[in-house]
Structure 1
Amino acid sequence: MILAAETNEGLAQLSNELVYASMAVYTLAFLAHITEWVFGSRSKVGRTAAALTGAKDAAAPATVSVRVEGAGGTTVLDRPKVVTRSAAGTRDVPDGPGAAGGTVKGDLYGRIAVSLTVLAFALEAAGVVTRAISVQRAPWGNMYEFSTTFSTVAVGTYLGFLLAKKNVRWIGLPLVTTVLLDLGVATTWLYTDSDQLVPALDSYWLWIHVSTAIFCGAVFYLGAVATLLYLFRDSYENKLANGGEPGSFARSVLERLPSAASLDKFSYRVNAAVFPLWTFTIIAGAIWAGDAWGRYWGWDAKEVWSFITWVGYAAYLHARATAGWKGRKAAYIALIAFGCFLFNYYGVNIFVSSKHSYAGV
């Protein structure tokens, strides 16, 4: 007979304090990101409009030289430069200079924001690890623990992209904002005292199944942010291409983002990369259900919505490979799929009674 380990209340309290400390530092990172955008140069904007109109400057249209062979010899003609559309359905325009807009002051605040995000991530990760040590088990036995681990992995993935020299600092502000919301909900409404697992969760599959679900959700989240920004940026580019005049706020913000094509490509790549792991997550859950409940699939609400999420992302990937469903249409499917993931976590756990409902939340 295996006796359940006792809860170390001191470490559990330390875990709570570390999470609260991370929220304070995330708040400072949020303010630093806001300052980065405010101090970002507006002198760098306008490149999208120039690219879409084929202009060398505000007055002169860009041209290309065309050699025409004829009976009287060779004639060189200047023709307007044609701006093509990418495979994603977005125009070939340069990426924006980023939140700082290329200014020294703006970039300084951006670096401060990233440094604060690193510190907050370290504090939150320490809180997650301390929570695990306090009960000597995986730190995701309830919604509070899942939420804190989820936001930690999301920030860690973002920092991993930065470490790999990927231009993703534009994710920083929406990421920190949603992490603060996630932790606010977790500590206010979802908090559960550090305690031992219910028998159904006391399995090594908890480490395998739930950890992969958390990682997949974190990556899906980054893809959803990129997809949402893609829709805004694509509308901005379309308006410019059709001769419209966006407002000063839209121009100063959206002009700094990567092009719609780059945002679309980023969201597609991260969603496509993690989709096989989500497939594995569902299979691992089915195997665990077989061990715990004697059946691999029982149409439990969590199982059903996990499969619906899988279908949503499968439809998105299929849409990207199907003519006529690229660009905005595929983006809408991706957002619906991520909405299914969110409902699978919050909606099913809170509003639906199922075998996956533990500790009240």
Structure 2
Amino acid sequence: MNLAAATNETFAEYSNTLIYSAMAVYTLAFLAHIAEWIFGSRSKVGRTAAALTATPAEARAAAPAVQVRGKDGGTAVLDKPKVVTRSATGSRDVPDGPGAAGGTEKGDLYGRIAISLTVLAWALQTAGVVTRAISVERVPWGNMYEFSITFGAVAVGTYLAFLAAKKNVRWMGLLLTGTILADLGLATKVFYTESDQLVPALDSYWLVIHVSTAIFCGAVFYLGAAGSVAYLFRDSYEAKLARGDKPSAFATSVLDRMPSAATLDKFAYRVNAAVFPLWTFTIIAGAIWAGDAWGRYWGWDPKEVWSFITWVAYACYLHARATAGWKGRKAAVLGLIAFACWLWNYYGVNMFVQGLHSYA
């Protein structure tokens, strides 16, 4: 065995160890997020219920007042308007919840621990991706295992970037760490592939361009789908309160701390709209690469077909919102259908359908 091969095997072992270490830390982060929700505020139907049931006079009475000085030296007291978010249906004005920890000191402590552990796990996972790249001396997304570990790192990195930008996404931490654990579990137990060189069809600079954009798009689409799922639960909660029904204590404890349905709806729309042009570029880049590798730009291969179906689904989602005024539940369901198409293209096509991309 030559020295280069030994070095590659060494870095491959480093990569495996780092990925398993990341899984262990993600597990701790997941448990810390559970503690954050448990020990956070268990407020009764409060902020949301008050916003849905208060009369205009009560809202003015509850709003803090400010004083302004007139030109004659006198003062006047003005009501400070209450800041609320209009819902997607236009029928409810509801403030955002205080956050996953609910504003309590103990919940916030566990939340901070969870975020710190997530950062550590992300650093370990990213290091695992980098050492995998060193072991094969190429970009680390030549097969499903490498694609999966890179996808998870990009998804968590994007989430942490939103947090660093002071966006209200901490509610997503529990769902994110759980699904990333599932992703890494599939990668290590189902998709694992020993470090090796690329098949000839993948040995191209288009691998860097096409696959990297596909990974980033999938990570952002995932965040949008998480927003849509959260929206559906929060919207049902707000609708139940608006009807005068009393939700369960568990639903109140969780959902009253999340952003309003309108905020979640807007979040999902913005991230999907922002990344859609890049998904369009991903398909175009794949077609150009296919022309170089197989002598045709489009051959109705299953991966090509489902990439296009995914594009159509997201195009319908964005078009319906922009022209037909689809917001709220219909838009959320359509967005989740589009993400399901992406997931099938990611997992199902490679695992269950034979095609030119089966080597992945």
**Structure 2 length-normalised TM:** 0.89
Pairing 1:36–2:33 present: no
Residues 316, 88 of structure 1: CA spacing in aligned structure 2 closer, same or farther, 3 A cutoff? farther
Which residue of structure 2 aligns with residue 217 of structure 1?
A: 218
Secondary structure, aligned partner of 1:8: helix
| Distance of 2:242 and 2:282 partners within structure 1 | 43
Which residue of structure 2 aligns with residue 53 of structure 1?
A: 53
| Distance of 2:33 and 2:334 partners within structure 1 | 30
Which residue of structure 1 aligns with residue 335 of structure 2?
A: 334
Amino acid at match of 2:37: W
Secondary structure, aligned partner of 1:42: coil
1:322, CA displacement in angstroms?
Answer: 3.1
Where in structure 2 are there 5+ consecutive unaligned residues? 62-81
When the two structures are aligned, how many residues end up with a matched partner? 335
Pairing 1:305–2:312 present: no
Which residue of structure 2 aligns with residue 204 of structure 1?
A: 205
| Distance of 1:321 and 1:158 partners within structure 2 | 26
Pairing 1:156–2:172 present: no
1:244, CA displacement in angstroms?
Answer: 1.1
Pairing 1:284–2:285 present: yes
Amino acid at match of 1:142: N
1:89, CA displacement in angstroms?
Answer: 4.5
| Distance of 2:88 and 2:260 partners within structure 1 | 13
| Distance of 1:277 and 1:18 partners within structure 2 | 30
1:357, CA displacement in angstroms?
Answer: 1.0
| Distance of 2:125 and 2:264 partners within structure 1 | 28
Amino acid at match of 1:352: V
Structure (1 or 2) with the greater helix fraction: 2
Residues 162-311 of structure 1 aligned to structure 2 (within 5 Å): 162-311=163-312
Residues 216, 147 of structure 1: CA spacing in aligned structure 2 closer, same or farther, 3 A cutoff? same
**Structure 1 length-normalised TM:** 0.89
| Distance of 1:84 and 1:149 partners within structure 2 | 36
- C-alpha deviations, 1:45-104, integer Å up to 9, x for none? 511111011259xxx95579xxxxxxxxxxxxxxxx9x9954554622000011110011
Q: Which moved more, 1:197-206 or 1:320-329?
A: 320-329
1:43, CA displacement in angstroms?
Answer: 3.3
Amino acid at match of 1:316: Y
Q: Which moved more, 1:193-202 or 1:7-16?
A: 7-16
Pairing 1:106–2:116 present: no
Q: Which moved more, 1:227-236 or 1:39-48?
A: 39-48
| Distance of 1:190 and 1:127 partners within structure 2 | 16
Q: List structure 1 runs of 4+ shifted beyond 6 angstroms.
A: none
Amino acid at match of 2:240: K
Q: Do the aligned partners of 1:89 and 1:327 also contact (CA within 8 Å) in 2?
A: no
Amino acid at match of 1:340: C
1:325, CA displacement in angstroms?
Answer: 2.4
Where in structure 1 are there 5+ consecutive unaligned residues? 65-80
| Distance of 1:17 and 1:44 partners within structure 2 | 45
1:327, CA displacement in angstroms?
Answer: 1.2
1:319, CA displacement in angstroms?
Answer: 1.2
Q: Do the aligned partners of 1:90 and 1:327 also contact (CA within 8 Å) in 2?
A: no
| Distance of 2:115 and 2:33 partners within structure 1 | 8
Residues 135, 62 of structure 1: CA spacing in aligned structure 2 closer, same or farther, 3 A cutoff? closer
| Distance of 1:105 and 1:150 partners within structure 2 | 33
Which residue of structure 2 aligns with residue 117 of structure 1?
A: 118
| Distance of 1:136 and 1:267 partners within structure 2 | 37
Which residue of structure 1 aligns with residue 76 of structure 2?
A: none
- C-alpha deviations, 1:92-141, integer Å up to 9, x for none? 20000111100111101101100000000000000000000101111001
Q: Do the aligned partners of 1:226 and 1:267 also contact (CA within 8 Å) in 2?
A: yes
Which residue of structure 2 aligns with residue 67 of structure 1?
A: none
Which residue of structure 2 aligns with residue 94 of structure 1?
A: 95
Residues 203, 89 of structure 1: CA spacing in aligned structure 2 closer, same or farther, 3 A cutoff? farther
Q: Do the aligned partners of 1:44 and 1:101 also contact (CA within 8 Å) in 2?
A: no
- C-alpha deviations, 1:124-183, integer Å up to 9, x for none? 000000000101111001101000000000000000001111111111100000000010
Amino acid at match of 2:222: Y
Amino acid at match of 1:104: E
Amino acid at match of 1:164: A
Q: CA RMSD in A?
A: 1.9
| Distance of 2:161 and 2:89 partners within structure 1 | 26
| Distance of 1:300 and 1:43 partners within structure 2 | 53
